[in-house]
């Protein structure tokens, strides 16, 4: 099997890192819980326009700096706090030990995503990494998944043996469906509200992989 795995909030705790950084920044600025809530809400799970997030941060924390500098500041804060989820690296090793191919397929800038990979030690545990900022195309565009398959010499792989797994319905699941591969959604306790369910659903990436493996065993 071939696993195309999202990075943020699938293998590493990007939102946890942002929230931890924001809590520290709010405390240092002498602000309160309402400011923290506003900043976290503005981030939209990492999908908001970064300068829009920076504008809320600057306003709430009374920072005396321009928006690009504020963006750099909170991106650095995320890198300082990001961690791989418990057991995530072991899971990657287990998949590869079983003969599967594993590719991280992530949206974001090269510097930020490569920084997270390095901080969390992910790259040594996968066969390849594909970053949207390096390729000029973002999920949900299926071309990013095609690039990932090409990167591991699997451009002609049976799409029924390929899984796109991630936490974002509009990016990860949508990209998988557009590419004609099987899809897994990491719910993190959320309810699915985007139409037909993906092929596998679980609270964590471990849960999704377990469901997907079970589905593969039951397939004719």
In the chain, where the domains are located = 2-13+84-218, 14-81
Q: What top-level class would CATH report for the domain 2-13+84-218? A: alpha beta
> What pLDDT, on the 0 to 100 scale, is given for residue 195?
87
Close Cβ partners of 21 (under 8 Å, ≥ 6 residues apart): 74, 77, 78, 80, 81
Cis peptide before 26, with omega less than 30 degrees from 0?
Answer: no
User: What is d(CA 36, CA 21) in angstroms, rounded to the nearest whole number?
Assistant: 10
All residue ranges of the chain with pLDDT < 50 are 220
Distance of CA 171 to the CA centre of its chain: 10
pTM for the model stands at 0.94
pLDDT of residue 220: 45
């Amino acid at each position: 099997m071939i696993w195309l795995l999202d990075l943020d909030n699938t293998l590493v705790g990007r939102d946890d890192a942002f929230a931890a950084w924001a809590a520290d920044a709010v405390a240092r600025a002498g602000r309160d819980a309402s400011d923290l809530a506003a900043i976290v809400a503005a981030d939209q799970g990492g999908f908001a326009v970064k300068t829009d997030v920076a504008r809320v941060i600057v306003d709430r924390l009374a920072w005396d700096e321009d928006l690009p500098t504020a963006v750099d500041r909170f991106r650095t804060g995320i890198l300082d706090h990001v961690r791989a989820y418990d057991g995530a690296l072991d899971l990657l090793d287990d998949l590869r030990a079983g003969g599967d191919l594993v590719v991280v397929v992530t949206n974001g800038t090269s510097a930020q995503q490569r920084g997270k990979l390095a901080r969390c030690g992910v790259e040594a545990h996968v066969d390849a990494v594909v970053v949207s900022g390096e390729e000029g195309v973002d999920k949900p565009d299926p071309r990013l998944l095609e690039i990932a398959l090409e990167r591991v010499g699997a451009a002609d792989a049976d799409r029924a043996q390929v899984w796109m797994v991630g936490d974002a319905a509009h990016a990860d699941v949508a990209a998988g469906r557009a590419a004609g591969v099987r899809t897994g959604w990491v719910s993190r306790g959320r309810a699915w509200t985007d139409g037909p369910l993906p092929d596998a659903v679980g609270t964590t990436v471990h849960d999704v992989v377990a469901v997907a493996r079970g589905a593969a065993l039951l397939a004719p």
